[in-house]
Amino acid sequence: MLPLTKRSWVMIGLWLCLSALAVLVYLPGLPGGFMIDDLGSIVYNQAMRLDSLSFHNLYVAALSSPTGGLMRPLSMLSFALNAYFFGFKTVLPFKLTNIFIHAACGLMLWWVARELLRAYAVATGRVLGERTATWLSSAITAIWLVHPLNLTVVLYTVQRETSLSAFFTAGAMLSYLVGRRREREGRSAFALIWIVTPLLTATGMLCKETAVLLPVYLLVVEITLLRFVGRGKRPSWSACGFQVIFLALPLLAAAVYFSLRPSGFFAAWYFGRDFNLHERLLTEGRVVLDYLRWVFVPDIRQLALYHDDVQVSRGLFDPPSTCACLLGIGLLLAAAIAIRKRLPLLSFGLLWFFGGQLLESTVLPLELVFEHRNYLPIFGLIAGVSGTLWFLADERQQARAIKLAGAACIVLFASVTAVRAWEWRSEMSFAQYEVAHQPQSPRALAELGWSYGMYLNVTHDFSIIPYAVEMEQREKAANPKTIEADVSIADIYAVTDALPKAKEYLRIAASDARSAEPTKTFLFTLETLRHWKTEKDPELRHDIYDIFEGAIENPDIAHNNCYLAAILNTYGILRETDGDITAAAQLLNRATNLCPGEALIHINFAYLLLKYGDPKDASEQIDTVRKIHDIRYLGQLQLLEDTLHEESSSQHGAKQ
């Protein structure tokens, strides 16, 4: 084995320092808890509770994601393994895993930064020494690792999907960049460009679909740095072919697909949102410029997990900043194209950042604002701006000043991130600071009200009740078309045996359910009602039934069959729990008729039929589930088939 050179030891030392930096800034946030999407994807997901590492268990866990077109199986598998080895008693192992993945992403991006700087040197004819490339790549990576915008990816457990996808996407970038460098040098590059790069991209897409943006990132690199040039200054047909196959053709296919959709497709797609496609595109212009501002000025007073209080742009001048922001984006893009030869790194950074927003900040009917969408986009911007400033300062013999500025930037960003991590040290602290940063956010207010309620359940400290009720009332004021606040207040009073007050708020919720907005939060609130304890006053159960009846009568819900079916499904399960089998069967039967393509409803109906001795009708429901072939429910389908077989065998034996 060859001894390590001094340069190798320096690089190892740098990597260790970068990894340590990535870990240290997030340590204050490790004691925090699971939150929002963590609950549905991990904590309450029965597929995560493995009793063994059998292929079947791992397969079912991998395909158990409630979100994502490709099911994100690799991310889900990582959560399942965390749960198997460490359980759910503490979130610590989950968050530690996230931190280590973040550090691994940083190391992968360190190599990417070096390749980008090499490409820049070739494109501009500059001499780039190994020492400069090493330290400049390290500075870029350090800034990215400690940037406050990345905090939600690391400490929000379920966003491991983003960091895992980014890790493989960065690997694909590195493979492509090394391949293109080898191609320019006259060496073989086919395997790296055409085999390794697509494979790593596909692996990233199995973590989260954002890896599909890799060809966009590589197009930016080609336009600004590599310029589609191969060996001997000749055009690179591999670079051109890669873009045609992996970007142009998929875009053409997507355009054809959406052009053939029926006229009401986008309206149905946006059902449950308080904005449409046009309004989302207008609003995202303002949002993306906010992201850009936070990259350079990460104001801790504005950074938060919840940004649901953002004003929706209803028109080009409503609010007036909409038009100004769209013009600003247009000017920045035009400037990036104009300077791509004079300042290629800066051009690269701007185009990379905007290219990274194309999936989650355009047409998809997602939430308007989430900081984790900037995880990879800000890397290119940091690399472009840092590299440009370094080379400009070096030309003017100001290298020392830019080094001090870079060090100060790392210390400042690390400090802000550490403070944010400290704010996430517990569920209560997280909720309190979310409200402090976003006082008009309904979700932040609901989160704090929920935290107060959990504290009340554990400590029975009745002095917290006024604060909990105040938060829920503020949430109701911020979002009047919701029943979540009323149900939460009713729960607080039910826990403290103030049953008349609990009834009062449940009845308010039943009335408001008839006009509530049909959102995912509304469905989740109805789901929570299944778990209410009403032994002390059975009349509370009837008040809960009234909430479901009000939701079913809601005219905004009645015309969306599958949304209504989801409510009927939850209501049916509740009635079955209460022993009203006839009502449960009627509700679930109606739900299956309204939304015949939803496998979960058929599964729930089949369980009900099997439980109460009707294997014939249960078999019909199971056959429907097979035809739907929703891979998320293959594990439950297998259990149903086994139960049906046992029930049928039992009945056959009884007849004999």
3-state secondary structure labels for all residues of 470-514: HHHHHHHHHCCCCCHHHHHHHHHHHHCCCHHHHHHHHHHHHHHHC
In a domain, 269, yes or no: no
Give the mean pLDDT of 298-305. Answer: 94
pLDDT at 652 exceeding the cut of 60: no
Structural domain contains residue 403: yes
397, 403 contact by CB (below 8 A):
no
Q: What's the rounded mean pLDDT across residues 237-245? A: 95
Q: Say if residue 364 is in the same domain as residue 458.
A: no
Pull the structure tokens for residue 490. Answer: 């009713």
Are 297 and 237 within one domain? yes
Q: Hey, how many other C-beta atoms are within 10 angstroms of the C-beta on 316?
A: 11
Domain boundary (492, 508, 543) is at: 543
Between these two residues, 8 and 412, which has the higher pLDDT value?
A: 412
pLDDT surpasses 70 at 650 = no
Q: Which domain holds residue 630?
A: 560-647
Residues 128-143: b if buried by 16+ CB within 10 A, e if exposed: beeebbbbbbbbbbbb
pLDDT band at 565 (very low <50, low <70, confident <90, very high): very high
The yes-or-no verdict on residue 106 having pLDDT over 90 is yes
Q: What pTM was estimated for this model as a whole?
A: 0.91
The highest-confidence range among 28-32, 532-536, 539-543, by mean pLDDT, is 28-32
Are the C-beta atoms of residues 483 and 547 closer than 8 Å to each other? yes
Report the DSSP beta bridge partners of residue 315: 318
Encode pLDDT of 598-633 as tens digits.
Answer: 988 999 999 898 888 888 888 898 899 888 888 778
Of 370, 388, 421, the residue that ends a domain is: 421
Same domain, yes or no, for 206 and 280? Answer: yes
* Residue 70 vs residues 66, 172, 203, 205, 269: alpha-carbon distances, Å: 11, 19, 11, 8, 18
Q: Cα–Cα distance between 237 and 255 in angstroms, integer? A: 25
The Cα–Cα gap between 488 and 505 comes to 9
Residue 523 and residue 581 share a domain: no
- The label of the residue with tokens 């190994």 reads 130
* 52 within a domain of the structure (yes/no): no
- Other Cβ atoms less than 10 A from the Cβ of 412: the count is 14
583, 612 contact by CB (below 8 A): no
Block residue for tokens 């697909």: 257
Distance from the Cα of residue 525 to its chain's centroid: 21
Residues 451 and 409 in one domain: no
Residues 190 and 324 in one domain: yes
- The pLDDT value recorded for residue 437 is 94
539 and 564 assigned to the same domain: no
Whether the predicted pLDDT of 1 surpasses 50: no
Let me know if residue 219 belongs to a domain.
yes
Q: Is the dihedral of CA 357, 360, 361, 362 positive or negative?
A: positive
Residue 579: which CATH number?
1.25.40.10
Q: Are residues 483 and 593 in the same domain?
A: no
Domain total of the chain: 3
Where does the pLDDT of residue 536 fall: very low under 50, low under 70, confident under 90, or very high at 90 and above?
A: low
Look at phi and psi of residue 233 and say left if phi exceeds 0, alpha if psi is from -120 to 50, else beta.
left
Does the structure show a pLDDT above 80 at 646?
no
Residue 2 confidence (pLDDT): 45
pLDDT grade for 233, boundaries at 50, 70 and 90: confident
Give per-residue burial for 357-385: e unless 16+ CB within 10 Å, then b.
bebbbebeeeebbbbbbbbbbbbbbbbbb
Average pLDDT of the chain is 90
113 neighbors 80 (Cβ within 8 angstroms): no
Question: Does residue 619 sit in the same domain as residue 483?
Answer: no
Residues 396 and 481 occupy one common structural domain: no
Q: Is residue 479 part of a domain?
A: yes
Q: In whole angstroms, give the CA distance from residue 562 to residue 552.
A: 12
267's tokens:
């309206």
CB atoms within 10 A of CB 161: 26
Q: Is residue 574 part of a domain?
A: yes
Residues 218 and 298 in one domain: yes
User: How far, in Å, are 433, 563, 600 from residue 566 at the CA level?
Assistant: 34, 5, 9
Q: What is the pLDDT of residues 321-347, one digit of tens each?
A: 999 999 999 999 999 999 999 999 999
User: What confidence score (pLDDT) does residue 399 get?
Assistant: 82
Rounded percentage of the chain residues whose pLDDT exceeds 90: 64
Residues 556-581 have a mean pLDDT of 91
Q: What is the crossing angle of helices 499-513 and 539-553, to 10°?
A: 10
71 located within any domain: no
Residue with the bigger pLDDT between 450 and 160: it is 160
**Same domain, yes or no: 454 and 398:** no
Residue 73 lies in a domain: no
What is the reported pLDDT for 47? 87
What's the confidence (pLDDT) of residue 450?
Answer: 87
Pick 536 or 61 by higher pLDDT.
61
Query: Tokens 């402090």 appear where?
Result: 436
Residue 68 has pLDDT above 80, yes or no: no
Domain final residue pick, 361, 387, 421 = 421
CATH number of residue 480's parent domain: 1.25.40
In the predicted model, is pLDDT for residue 653 greater than 60?
no
Task: With CA atoms as reference, report the closest residue to 570 among 633, 516, 507, 525.
Answer: 525
